[in-house]
Structure 1
């Protein structure tokens, strides 16, 4: 089916961050949009306000009547929805066109000058920075983001369709549906071993992604990765390199050396060396297609951030509350180091919700080492997402490996009371599960707690 022939789009898993971006695209294109998800969330409520019809029960009887006709209806699904969902049997038996989210994203971006960001860490922040840079440079950009940009207040941007910014997700080899003009690989740490089986197989998939860059296109890679391309890094021999790095008034200030010139006194406000690298990756990609690179430099200084990516929720003399999506040991290390750099000497209470039984099993010792670095560490139960439990793999199992005397498991329902009683100097909530839905309630409670007034 050609997308031009699509009149209606039904999403199985419409509330996912990637799926909701596609839903917004089709709504903007004037198509009818409906879908299923398990529970209402701020994203699904926003989609309903924008015109989508959403049901929260796994019943085919609730599929709106127009979407029960195969002609002109496209069905999009995410691997997060189990194949046992009755919608799959209904749509497949009815002769509908049923495609993965990644396939549809590939079809949309193929008609644009696509800039795709891949990597086991940093995709979302880099993509959001890149979309911001292109927009501020006055370019026609369409962006599908894996997080809510604080600059746009959305995970979707449509200022035109000449350029597209997309996340090239390695999960389920989704990024192999893309054909970018400019591609970037930020990192290649072992992850998603439930899909790949080994780090070597993951590395091979990234190589295949690099091979999908269009003829005449460009591949941007962090210096040190085993791929050939335009390199970027901090204080090394990269082609695009941050030099003379310093902090001024809570911001980073630095120079960017490129093959053509050096940009002096560039400013960037997101804490952490990992975020500096994300900003440099986005700049390196943008400068390959932008006619006015000086505007890109100015835009780096105005980037606000991404929700749940080192997001300051409270910042007072008595309490700092930071929320982050980190769900891999390398990401947790990066957040820890950013806090220590920006807030030296202050005690950190980290509340972590492990994401996936398989990831917890595969990286148990690494998680334990990363989490042990905090002054206090609390674990919530593992968020299963798409998985069934694995025997013996629990938060108690992970807790037993953490070498920190101030560790404990906490029930999510008791979390706010426990945090208030603990009175931390710095509170950090981390994880990719539904811990993110607790953040505003935690912020609210702490904002009104006497001990923080």
Structure 2
């Protein structure tokens, strides 16, 4: 049994705040440290959390456990030293989460993109089926009423599994879902090979459990093709492969089917006119969602395949997902300004950027132009992915570049938003200084009725959209 008080270092982060809410659900006293106030920390204080903004202020007497995130680093050596001196158990957030779900059947969702949406979809299906799951989501969804995490009394625990620092490999869930593999967090992994090896380990072919793979993804296909000869299946392992029809003839697929036919579930699908069609046990099904974009449909297929493994019929999952509630900062409509729809999206990786730009351009093609206010996220990511980031933005009709959002990183010499300019069409690209009033005047001058204004990035780019709507410029 977990006892409090528990101190959360970096409690304002999305993952940490979710865990803090789960601890509060268990009636555990929670203390927190974060440098900044935010809506997230304000809500935690409403629920009784004692919040500190200075490391030196934190009283450690009586603390039973300290939970920290990867954002807490060498800058905080002093407090780690004090914690160790007093022999207080110190847990990374991933370790603490696994403690919380240790008495339930766990469902983890991993992938370079789509983790939050897919976790929310699985959670919504289980919740509406009355299964009362424990849930931990790295995003804000109305399903959890601003909390990001909750303790449920049901049989299952659903959580988002973050690969950014490798800690997603510390626990093998009973159900392991994987949406895709892409070049991200190479500042941690350094090479594509090490990144792929981490995801291969996550799949856990030699560990009992159900695994659902969206095998249409090139990254997942690459890992399977590179490793199928060395895969050893545990007797308790079951695999679901989501594929398109043309994939059934590929070499790796034939190998899996011929050697492990009884342990493989294959679901073939196709997408046409914002609808995903698939066949299961000779029955034909179609899935549509309230949000545009192929990526949402394929995430939905991953979610309902997981639900299948829990005994929930495709028809029931499809009905629930037809009213999928979505996640804040994923194609979230903020409002309208002079006939212009203002949208916020968290996308900050080239693949995510292409997906959201393509889906919104298709949605609005008969009405007006797509204006994108892009805020690059982290100096390291910008340096590593500069060419691909620039290419992903070319679909915008008008592009406005904000200064890089550092996310706490030190500036890298020679890397700034100006680094994008050689790769972009200068006739439709505007470099913004990051001054709200000046920026909005430049943006407004190009907007026409019927246009879309997309605020894109993982930092605070949303503020430019809300300020435009509020008339504070």
For 1:390 and 1:262, how far apart are their aligned partners in 2? 55
Cα distance change, pair 386–257 in 1 and its aligned pair in 2 (3 A): farther
TM-score by length of 2: 0.85
> Which secondary structure state, in structure 1, belongs to the residue aligned with residue 8 of structure 2?
strand
1:166 alignment counterpart: 159
| Equivalent residue for 2:290, pick from 254, 261, 269 | 269
Show the 5 A alignment for 1:5-404: 5-56=2-53, 58-61=54-57, 63=58, 65=59, 67-70=60-63, 73-85=64-76, 86-154=78-146, 155-211=148-204, 214-224=207-217, 225=220, 226-227=223-224, 229-233=239-243, 239-243=266-270, 245-246=272-273, 252-258=274-280, 260-314=281-335, 318-345=339-366, 346-404=368-426
> Which secondary structure state, in structure 2, belongs to the residue aligned with residue 429 of structure 1?
strand
Deviation at 1:292, TM superposition (A): 4.4
> Which secondary structure state, in structure 1, belongs to the residue aligned with residue 445 of structure 2?
helix
Q: Per-residue displacement from partner, 1:275-325 (whole Å, max 9, x unpaired)?
A: 111111111112111344432121011112110111122258821212110
Unaligned runs of 5+ in 1: 247-251
Deviation at 1:235, TM superposition (A): 6.3
Q: Per-residue displacement from partner, 1:24-61 (whole Å, max 9, x unpaired)?
A: 000010111011112111111111111111122x2322
2:442 alignment counterpart: 418
Conservation of the 8 A alpha-carbon contact between 1:379 and 1:399: no
TM-score by length of 1: 0.89
Conservation of the 8 A alpha-carbon contact between 1:182 and 1:213: no
**CA-based RMSD:** 2.3
Deviation at 1:211, TM superposition (A): 1.4
Deviation at 1:74, TM superposition (A): 0.9
> Which secondary structure state, in structure 2, belongs to the residue aligned with residue 418 of structure 1?
helix
Q: Per-residue displacement from partner, 1:325-362 (whole Å, max 9, x unpaired)?
A: 00111111001110122111521111111111111000
Deviation at 1:171, TM superposition (A): 0.7
Q: Per-residue displacement from partner, 1:374-420 (whole Å, max 9, x unpaired)?
A: 11111111111142111111111223332342212213332334333
Conservation of the 8 A alpha-carbon contact between 2:289 and 2:322: yes
For 1:82 and 1:445, how far apart are their aligned partners in 2? 39
Cα distance change, pair 84–373 in 1 and its aligned pair in 2 (3 A): same
Q: How many residue pairs are counted as aligned between the two chains? A: 432
For 1:420 and 1:38, how far apart are their aligned partners in 2? 34
Deviation at 1:135, TM superposition (A): 0.8
Cα distance change, pair 312–104 in 1 and its aligned pair in 2 (3 A): same
> Which secondary structure state, in structure 1, belongs to the residue aligned with residue 372 of structure 2?
strand
For 1:51 and 1:232, how far apart are their aligned partners in 2? 44
Unaligned runs of 5+ in 2: 229-238, 249-265
Conservation of the 8 A alpha-carbon contact between 1:312 and 1:323: yes
Deviation at 1:125, TM superposition (A): 0.7
